Structure 1
Amino acid sequence: MTDIDPRALRTAFGAFMTGVTVVTAKDGDNAPLGFTANSFTSVSLNPPLVLVCLANSSSNYDALVAAEGFAVNVLSETQMDVSNTFARPAEDRFADVGWRDGPQGAPILDGVSAWFDCRMHKVTEAGDHVILIGEVCAFDSTAAPGLGYVRGAYVTPSMAAQAASQATDLAVTALIEHEGHVLLVDDTQGGMMLPETLATSGEGASAAVARLLQATCPSAKAGFVYSVYEDPKRGRQHIAFLCQAAEPEAMKGTFVPLSRHALDDISDPAMLTMLERFSAESAVGEFGIYYGDQSRGEVRAIV
């Protein structure tokens, strides 16, 4: 079995499993093929297995069930055109898409949020579809946020932020993570806090978090909205973004492990609750979005 770090793989799954994917492989003539899919699922961490589903009516059916392996490319939020290209019939879907061979030989698309290159483990018939189970032999993920698809429409982190940011007084928080560490900055009370800024007049949440990241950790990129809550006493709406940093370096603050000692330094109760939830969710690789106020609300699972 390939030597895969289960913790790193769990982190990649947790960050990207809800996105739109393009499954790619090579046919018998070594020509690339691929299709858009949102039925990408983690099966096992030991051994590292994933599955995708393919319709029996697909033009790629014969080639894929006979392939030695396949790759799952998790598209970034700027790749709607790539999703559309691989979702529609075309003579050469790869003509206008940059790609390279992965370590196992399946095509890896340029600019994706993450990719998983797999050896074919098992092919199972399932009604009018076939289930392709692959063993992950190599993978990589970036800080680029993924592309979602809900109820017949694409969804990106920036769209979600614009929909949520309707309050006049808007505070934007960045929960910036890198390999199990989060970025904390000094607050004004001798403690620590997550990086935060107030949106300026006419500035949306997306622009505010981009400005905040540039000032604190330029290598980080905003992912999905992680928490939305109100502070009625101050007349303020809070939106927290879960962000991924490419490097553990910051212009302000320090990356610290999510230990009890680090959490004890958090002075804001709402931020403390958010970090405790993030620590618990990171351990299992399953995340949710909090809606409510500073003391009461609900977490809606991302499925």
Structure 2
Amino acid sequence: MQTVEHEYKTIDPMALRRAFGTFVTGVTVVTTRDEQGSPRGMTANSFTSVSLDPALLLVCIGKGAASYPVFLQADSFAVNLLHEGQVALSNVFASKAPDKFDQVSHVAVHTGAPVLTDCLTWFDCTVHQCIDAGDHIILLGQVQAFGTSPEAPLGFCRGRYAQVKDPLPPGWLSASDMITGYLIESEGRLLLAEDGKGGWVLPTASRRLKDGRLPLSVGGELALLPDDTFLYSVFDTADNDPGYLIYRAKLGESLLEGALPPSLHFFSLDQLPYETIISHEIRAMLQRYARETERGSFGIYMDSQEGGRVAMVGSAQSWDKAY
């Protein structure tokens, strides 16, 4: 049998990079924490979904990146997809600037990896597998929590940023799997919103907290104290309903009752209208919040197949200090 010999041409790396660059991608900031607990991050566009069951994604980290050794040893990371208004932020995280995180608000949601509070979509992941792949490593992440917004994505093609037109299909939800609610306290009172059916619910936000301002889903915004805003509860209400991310927060400036949207009202903690709150999960959470406020010691509730658990965190402290 005759052997056919193939001649392989040497590939020009720059030409190959330009060819790869014709594939339109989004732009992400991949974040984690080093051994000292300091946030680290870099811009990347080599990202893709992998699997729904289990929930897996992947991102490629170049071995020449300054934060490569940190990601190589990390046991968790977050992928933050940027929206069209975050070109400057993308450039910051693509640079070697030592103060990248001084220019962006971020919180810890599930794993402790920094989640950017104002981005298109975020995925908080534990490392499922790390694969060596030439001049990159492939981080396979198992998604533990995620959230979305209705912003237009920041695109990238042929080495430059690209605009994506009409990104939001009719009927798309801004956070299709999670509702972000807030326990907003002021002078010992808690803010609740009318549900339109004669009952009360927690205020929800149309976007995450930014520069101390919280845009409310019912319209208007409130000034909150960023250092006093903490994750409080993560849970589902039913298999076919969205899950909830609940934060506790304090009003950042005095606000007259008449300045609130008409659907919002403050209640003292000993007069919360439990009987008109339909969701038993919300009722139970408010009862826990009232007890913990009285004790001055708070916990974080995480839902699970075993019924969930509360991890006590003691007195309030900022996220940067907590992690």
TM-score by length of 2: 0.45
Q: Which protein is bigger by CA-based radius of gyration?
A: 2
- Which has the higher relative contact order, 1 or 2, with Cα contacts under 8 A spaced 6 or more apart? 1
